[in-house]
Structures are given as C-alpha cells and as structure tokens.
Copies of this chain bind each other. A is one copy, B any other.
Amino acid sequence: MTPNMPVARRMADIQPFHVMDLLARARRLEAQGRDIIHLEIGEPDFPTPAPIVEAGRQALADGHTHYTPATGLPALREAIARFYQDEYGAHVPPERIVITPGASGALLLVMGVLVNPGAQVIMADPGYPCNRHFVRAMEGEPVGVSVGPDTAYQLTPDHLADTWTERTAAAMVATPSNPTGTLTDTHSLKSMIDFARSQGGNLIVDEIYQGLVYGERPMTAAGLSNQVFVINSFSKFFGMTGWRLGWVVAPEPYVRELDKLAQNLFLAASTPAQHAALAAFTPACREILEARREAFRQRRDVLLPGLRALGLRVPVTPEGAFYIYGNSTAWGEDSFVLAERLLEEAGVAVTPGIDFGRHGASQHLRFAYTRDIPVLEAALERLRQWLG
C-alpha cells in the first residue's frame, strides 16, 4: 500500500487464507499438466442435493426473486424450528431464528451486536481463522486459547474460568471443530453457557458441521439453553456452499438488534436460496444427506488409519466435520514448507496449520476428506512414495 493510499489499521491484522496461495500454485501446476489431488478444500465434492436444486429452479420459475424480510422467509424460519424439534427435541421458536447470508453473515451480525472496541472474545487455537477476523473487524480483541489433545482441542469450562476478564464479551465454541473434527460434550457446553451468562457475557456455538457427526448422535446447544447464540449453515451438511445461506439462533432479547443490523449490513439473504432451502428438510432430501454422512464416515475410516500408518499423529479421533488435523513433525519440521513440498513433489494439496492459529501451527497439517475413497487412496499412495 503506497503512503497516499491509506488503509485502515485493522487490515494489518486480517490475514488471507494462506492456503489460497497454495491453491493458486496448484492451479499453475495443473495448467502445466500436473495432476493434483485436492485435500485442502473445506467444501464437499458432492453437488447440492437434487431436491434442493429442483426447488431452487422452481422458485426462479415462480418469480421468487424479490427481497425477503431481513430476518428471512417466515416459512424457512418455521422449517428450521421444526427441524430442531424433530431432530433434537429442542424447542426453538421461529422468532429466535434469523436467516443470514451464510454462517459468515451470522458471525458478522453476532459480533456486531456483542463486540465493543477493545472487548475480548475467547476462542480455541487452533480454530476457524475467520472468527478472529470478525472480532478484529469490530475492533474487538480475539483471545486465542491454546487447546490440545487433552481437551479434544476444545475449550472447557476451566479455560473460560481462567481466561475470562472484565473485558470479555463472549467465548466461541465450534463443535464439530474446524480444523480438528473433534466434539465437545453436552455437560461442558451447558457449563460454558451458564458461566458466560453468569459473567454477563455470551457463549457463541458454531454448529455449522453439526449434521456431520459419526458414531454418536449430534446434539445442539440450542436445546440446552435459550441464552446461547448458535450459528449454523446450509453449506456443509446440506450441501449448499455456493448458495450462501445460514442462520443464527439468538436469545430472544437480541433478535431485534440482529434484525436492525441485518437490515443495514445486508438487507436480506438470497431469496432463491431461501426458497430452495425449504426442500432441505423433506424426507427425500434427508435420505440423500444421510447417505452422504455415511459416505463421509467411510472416507474418514480410510484416510485416518492411512495417515496414521504413515506417521501423522492424530491423538484424538475426529468424530465430525470432514477434517483430519494431525501433527506432521515426523514428515518435516515446518508444516508450511511441508505443504509446499507435498504439493510440488507429491501432487497432494493440504492446508498448513498456520491457517488455523498460532498454537502448534507449524507442526500440523489439515486434510479434508472432501474427495471420494479412490482419490483418498491415491493420495495415501502418493504420500507413501514421497516418504520413501
């Protein structure tokens, strides 16, 4: 930035995804004819389920292209409320559900409503990189807490008690977590909600990978308390990444504030996407989504033992999302250099730990099992040969 092209100070603290540079390099290699296996992308390879696509096409044919209310299409808020009831036995009135342009829009609103300049937001390190940038955008201070295998890479009530200060506005939990795929438990979650509220703050629970839990039955923080912010999305489980649609469940007194901010910051979420999403809860679609969940589980069950056998240390089995986050020091010292070498020399693209924080960042890599099993097996074979 030249001196007479001034840029706001926050931008110095807002990092691009480092994996984007890697992705650009991968594209150049592909343009040269190299075959690259992409395990760096946090986006399922599955297309949007046919019933949702069909509902989207029908919505367009029916002329559903005008604005909806800022809080979203009433019918979609009601459908999500029913989903909480039917799936989790959680009573969440539609009035507490605000539809947003992706989980990103939900995070923007929640941070805008909760975070004063200088206020702190506690979050796990490693964690989803955008979280700290949403806080920084609002002139708040993200407080990363180093988490490791001992707590399944999750914040605990003890972490909150140790880290909470008078300046703390909120703490964030992601379950399943990106990048680790690990879960928190109901008891911890309830304790953290209560602790945050007892301090006059709030807990924000990111459940955008909620539908993708293997082994145990997924749960929702919205069923534990009506005093918690829950972020969710149609992107990952429902397969609607490019449509940009998510939601937030908010404590009732905050809904009016979220509405006000939504009116001003984005007017409303995409109308065709909202109509399409109504089909996400139909039995036909749920059947497809359950089959995909099972496919993800099978992929994990191929990639995880394969990587462990090659020396990646994954001390806590990831029970959700579609990520494996492992200690890669057996393969090389610096995981960023390692990611570059794996791309260039083995033709396998993965995400370096640095994209998820500072704690142990250079010792870890994230693998996304967003590709089919034969591709995962080919990636394992390439790694095996590269390791020699």
Contact with B along A48-67 (1 / 0, CB 8 A): 10000100110011011111
Chain B's closest residue to A137 (CB) is B112
**Measured CA separation A112–B13 after assembly (Å):** 12
Provide the residues of chain B in CB contact with A5, threshold 8 Å: 251, 253-254
**In contact, B242 and A6 (Cβ under 8 angstroms):** no
Provide the residues of chain B in CB contact with A265, threshold 8 Å: 104, 108, 130, 133-134, 137
**How many residues of A are in contact with the other chain, CB < 8 A?**
76
A261 touches B (CB below 8 Å): yes
> Nearest Cβ in chain B — how far from A9, in angstroms?
6
A78 touches B (CB below 8 Å): no
| With A66-B43, A265-B108: A8-B114 Cβ-Cβ less than 8 Å | yes
**In contact, B169 and A6 (Cβ under 8 angstroms):** yes
Provide the residues of chain B in CB contact with A64, threshold 8 Å: 242
**Measured CA separation A4–B254 after assembly (Å):** 12
**Measured CA separation A239–B130 after assembly (Å):** 32
Determine how many copies of this chain the complex contains: 2
Give the interface centre of A116, A133, A270 by most chain B CB atoms within 10 Å: A270
**Measured CA separation A138–B65 after assembly (Å):** 30
Provide the residues of chain B in CB contact with A117, threshold 8 Å: 117, 139
**Measured CA separation A114–B273 after assembly (Å):** 31
A101 touches B (CB below 8 Å): yes
**Measured CA separation A134–B108 after assembly (Å):** 12
**Measured CA separation A129–B369 after assembly (Å):** 45
A259 touches B (CB below 8 Å): yes
A197 touches B (CB below 8 Å): yes
**Measured CA separation A138–B115 after assembly (Å):** 11
Provide the residues of chain B in CB contact with A112, threshold 8 Å: 8, 10-11, 137
**In contact, B116 and A253 (Cβ under 8 angstroms):** no
> Nearest Cβ in chain B — how far from A93, in angstroms?
17
Top 10 nearest A-B pairs by Cβ distance?
A242-B271, A133-B264, A48-B65, A16-B260, A65-B242, A104-B266, A130-B264, A5-B253, A57-B57, A47-B63
Other contacts beyond A56-B272, A104-B267, A137-B261: 19, CB < 8 A: A1-B253, A5-B253, A6-B169, A7-B257, A8-B115, A11-B261, A14-B261, A43-B67, A64-B242, A102-B266, A104-B265, A117-B117, A130-B263, A241-B271, A242-B268, A243-B270, A244-B244, A244-B266, A270-B273
